[in-house]
């Protein structure tokens, strides 16, 4: 009988991770875009809002954030006394990188009298000059809580900003940033897939461009799309967000079919975030073992950045 060595190896890694977690008093949080095997070994999985909400309530002294850097920073800012580890310190975010703190500060100074709302996909420096942080889960709800005539700067995602403007009737001033994964979803390929699967519902993340969102049946955060896929009577879904979410969608509804929408120049038929996928089981094991790489945030910046994050959590209740 042939032995599946790779399966044995993966199981061995998972066993080591579970053992190390106990030894180090650590807890693993994973975003829905992580590799399935990381999601399977995590204590909690969620979208960026859920991960921030969970981080604040944990008792363990170490948090391993399997996601990208800004998610680790958010956890560290909310839990400054804890050690926050990330399996790969290079797991960045093109959207967060599209907002340079010096230029964003100038944008704010050039437009005085505006409330600054920033998407959570930003560096701690940007959060420190923000009035309230939002995620794709709560952006509409939080924007709706401001008076209709409130002048608002929204950054850095122009697609999410445009979408919120369109559903709220606001005219928020938008920073010109975007996510390289969601921007490259192809409308042509979506039209082809809609012909192939005429009964399928189209689920899209609001970081996608407007022409694509106009073709979607449901627009929402990863958690909202997952929830819809579970609750809907529909049996097929075309999914326009990072393909990691399909793991939990398939697990939650094994009888349903999930079709990842390919990007414009995607050859794999899916849409991976190269940053999210830098984290691996091996790196997760190593970071638990070594206590490194660790997320560090400048104390003065963290003291400023915590206010708009706490305000978000308060306004999301
Ligand atoms: P969520 O807020 O849906 O978790 O999305 C985070 C993200 O990075 C989207 O690309
Ligand atoms: Fe950033 Fe886009 Fe990756 Fe999300 S999918 S982490 S927004 S680069």
- pLDDT tens per residue, range 137-189: 999 999 999 999 999 999 999 999 999 999 999 999 999 999 999 999 989 99
Q: At what angle do helices 245-252 and 222-231 cross, to 10 degrees?
A: 20
Nearest CA-CA partner of 274 in 11, 33, 14: 33
pLDDT at 3 over 50: no
What average pLDDT does range 67-79 have in this prediction? 98
What average pLDDT does range 207-221 have in this prediction? 97
DSSP at 198? T
- Please tell me the pTM assigned to this model: 0.94
Q: Which residues pair with 63 in a beta bridge?
A: 27, 84
How far apart are the C-alpha atoms of 98 and 92, rounded to whole Å? 11
CB of 135 sitting under 6 A from ligand 1: yes
Which pLDDT score, from 0 to 100, does residue 271 have? 84
Cβ-defined contacts of 161-167 (< 8 Å, 24+): 162/210, 163/206, 163/210, 163/213, 163/219, 164/139, 164/140, 164/206, 166/210, 167/140
CB of 207 sitting under 6 A from ligand 1: yes
Question: 24 C-alpha vs ligand 1 centroid, how far in Å?
Answer: 29
Whether residue 99 contacts residue 122, with contact meaning beta carbons closer than 8 Å, is answered with yes
Average pLDDT along the chain: 95
Whether residue 276 contacts residue 99, with contact meaning beta carbons closer than 8 Å, is answered with no
CB of 179 sitting under 6 A from ligand 1: yes
CB of 133 sitting under 6 A from ligand 1: no
Question: 216 C-alpha vs ligand 2 centroid, how far in Å?
Answer: 20
DSSP at 187? H
What 3-state class would DSSP assign to 218? strand
DSSP at 159? H
Atom of ligand 2 nearest to the CA of 93: 1
What CA–CA distances, in Å, run from 6 to 2, 9, 261, 281? 12, 5, 29, 12
């Amino acid at each position: 009988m042939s032995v599946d060595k790779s399966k044995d190896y993966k199981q061995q890694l998972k066993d080591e991770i579970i053992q190390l977690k106990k030894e180090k008093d650590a807890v693993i949080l994973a975003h829905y875009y992580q590799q399935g095997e990381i999601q399977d070994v995590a204590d909690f999985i969620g979208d960026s809002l859920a991960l921030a909400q969970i981080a604040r309530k944990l008792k363990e002294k170490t948090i391993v954030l399997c996601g990208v850097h800004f998610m680790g920073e958010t956890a560290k800012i909310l839990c400054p006394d804890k050690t926050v580890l990330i399996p790969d310190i290079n797991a960045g975010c093109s959207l967060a990188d599209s907002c340079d703190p010096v230029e964003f500060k100038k944008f704010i100074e050039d437009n005085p009298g505006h409330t600054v709302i920033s998407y959570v996909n930003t560096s701690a420096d940007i959060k420190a000059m923000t009035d309230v942080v939002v995620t794709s889960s709560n952006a509409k709800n939080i924007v709706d809580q401001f008076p209709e005539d409130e002048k608002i700067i929204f950054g850095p995602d122009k697609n999410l900003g445009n979408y919120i403007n369109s559903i709220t009737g606001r005219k928020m001033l938008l920073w010109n940033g975007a996510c390289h994964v969601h921007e490259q979803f192809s409308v042509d390929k979506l039209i082809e897939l809609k012909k192939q699967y005429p009964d399928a519902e189209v689920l899209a993340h609001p970081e996608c461009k407007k022409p694509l969102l106009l073709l979607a049946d449901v627009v929402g955060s990863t958690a909202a799309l997952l929830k819809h896929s579970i609750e809907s009577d529909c049996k097929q879904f075309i999914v326009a967000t990072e393909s990691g979410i399909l793991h939990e969608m398939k697990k939650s509804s094994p009888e349903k079919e999930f079709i990842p929408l390919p990007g414009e120049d995607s050859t794999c038929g899916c849409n991976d975030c190269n940053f999210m996928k830098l984290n691996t089981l091996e790196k997760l094991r190593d970071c638990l073992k070594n206590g490194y790489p660790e997320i560090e945030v400048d104390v003065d910046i963290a003291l400023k950045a915590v206010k708009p994050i706490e305000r978000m959590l308060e306004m999301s209740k």
